[in-house]
Structure 1
Amino acid sequence: MADLWMPEAEQYDLGDHAPTDRQYPPKAVAHITMDRKATQAKPVPHVSFGRLLSYFTGAGRASAPHILWDPFTGQFAQFYPANSRSKSVADGPGGTRTNRAGKVVLQIEAVFFPHTIFDGKAYASLADTPCKGWAELHRWVRSHGVPDVWPMGRPTSFTAHRSERTWETKGGWYAHAHVPENDHTDPGSWPVFKRSPKPTKPTKPAKPAPAAPPFPGRQFFVLGATNKHALQLQKWLHTGDWGPKYQVGPSQTMTPKDFQKIAALQAHYVSALGPADGFCGPLTWKYAFEVATGLRKL
Structure 2
Amino acid sequence: MPDLWMPGATRLDIGDHAPTDGGPAKAIPHITWDRNATAARPQDLVPYETLRDYFGSNPDGKRAAPHLLWDPFTGRVTQFVPASSRSKSLADQAGGTRTNRAGSVVIQIEAVFFPYCRVGGKVYAKLTDTPCKGWAEILAWIRSWGVPDAWPNGRPENCTRNATNWATKAGWFPHKAVPENDHDDPLSWPAFTINTPAPSKEDPVPTVITESSDTDSGLRASTWTTVAMAQDSALLQGPVSYSVAAYLRIGGAPGTRVKGRFYDQYADGHGSRDLAIDLGTVGPDGVLDAQVARPGQLADKVQLKLEVWADKPATITYRVLRSLRWTA
**1:20 — aligned with what?**
20
Task: Quote the residue 1:179 is aligned against.
Answer: 178
CA distance, structure 2, for counterparts of residue 204 and residue 30 of structure 1: 30
Q: What does residue 139 of structure 2 align with? A: 138
* Residue 170 (structure 1) shift: 0.6
**Distance in 2 between residues matched to 1:71 and 1:84, nearest whole Å:** 24
Contact kept in structure 2, 1:4 and 1:83, CA below 8 Å: yes
**Could you tell me the TM-score, scaled by structure 2's length?**
0.59
Match of 1:9 in 2: 9
Q: How far apart, in 1, do the equivalents of 2:100 and 2:19 lie?
A: 10
User: Which shifted more, 74-83 or 93-102?
Assistant: 93-102
> How far did residue 194 of structure 1 move?
2.8
Residue deviations 1:64-104, cap 9 Å, x none? 00000000111100000000000000110222210000000
- Contact 1:138–1:194 (8 Å) recurs in 2: no
Following TM superposition, by how much is the alpha carbon of 1:41 offset from its aligned partner in structure 2, in angstroms? 0.2
* Structure 1 residue identity aligned to 2:150: V
Find the counterpart in structure 2 of residue 154 from structure 1.
Answer: 155
Q: What is the CA–CA distance in structure 2 between the aligned matches of 1:167 and 1:68, rounded to whole Å?
A: 23
AA paired with 1:107? Answer: Q
The Cα offsets for residues 191-234 of structure 1, whole Å up to 9 and x where unpaired, read as: 001358699685599xxxxxxxxxxxxxxxxxxxxxxxxxxxxx
Equivalent-residue separation in structure 2 for 1:147 and 1:199 (angstroms): 26
Does the C-alpha gap of structure 1 residues 101 and 116 become closer, same or farther in structure 2, counting only changes over 3 Å? Answer: same
C-alpha contact (below 8 Å) 1:44/1:116 kept by paired residues: yes
Instruction: Report the 3-state secondary structure (helix = DSSP H, G, I; strand = E; otherwise coil) of the residue aligned with 2:99.
Output: coil
| Superimposed CA distance per residue, residues 263-296 of structure 1 (whole angstroms, 9 cap, x where no aligned partner) | xxxxxxxxxxxxxxxxxxxxxxxxxxxxxxxxxx
* Inter-partner Cα distance in structure 2 for 1:40 and 1:165: 37
Q: CA deviation at 1:183?
A: 0.8
User: Do the aligned residues in 2 keep the contact of 1:176 with 1:185 (CA within 8 Å)?
Assistant: yes
Partner of 1:123: 124
| TM-score, with structure 1 as normaliser | 0.65
Distance 1:47 1:25, change over 3 A: same
How many residues are treated as equivalent by the alignment?
A: 202
State the distance in 1 between where 2:77 and 2:148 align.
22
- What does residue 247 of structure 2 align with? none
- Partners of 2:24 and 2:197 lie apart in 1 by 29
Question: Percent of pairs identical after alignment?
Answer: 58
Structure with the bigger percentage of helix: 1
Q: Distance in 2 between matches of 1:140 and 1:146?
A: 9
Write out the 4+ residue segments of structure 1 that deviate beyond 2 Å after TM superposition.
Answer: 194-205
1:10-49 map, 5 Å: 10-22=10-22, 24-49=23-48
- In structure 1, what is the Cα distance between the partners aligned to 2:71 and 2:202? 33
Instruction: Report the Cα distance in structure 1 between the residues aligned to 2:68 and 2:21, rounded to whole angstroms.
Output: 20
**Corresponding residue of 2:84:** 83
Q: Deviations over 1:42-83 (max 9, x none)?
A: 000111110001111213110000000000111100000000
Instruction: Tell me which amino acid in the other structure corresponds to 1:6.
Output: M
Determine helix, strand or coil for the equivalent of 2:100.
coil
- Cα distance in 2 for partners of 1:180, 1:56 equals 24
Aligned partners of 2:136, 2:55: CA distance in 1, in Å? 24
Q: Residue 260 of structure 1 aligns with which residue? A: none
The superposition leaves residues 125-153 of structure 1 with CA deviations (integer Å, 9 ceiling, x where unpaired) of: 00110000000011111110000001111
- Structure 1, residues 224-268: CA drift from partner, whole Å, max 9, x if none? xxxxxxxxxxxxxxxxxxxxxxxxxxxxxxxxxxxxxxxxxxxxx
Any idea what SS the aligned residue of 1:99 has?
helix
**What SS does structure 2 have at the residue aligned with 1:60?**
helix
| C-alpha displacement of 1:155 | 1.1
AA at the equivalent of 2:28: V
Cross-structure match for 1:113 = 114
Distance 2:28 2:203 in 1: 41
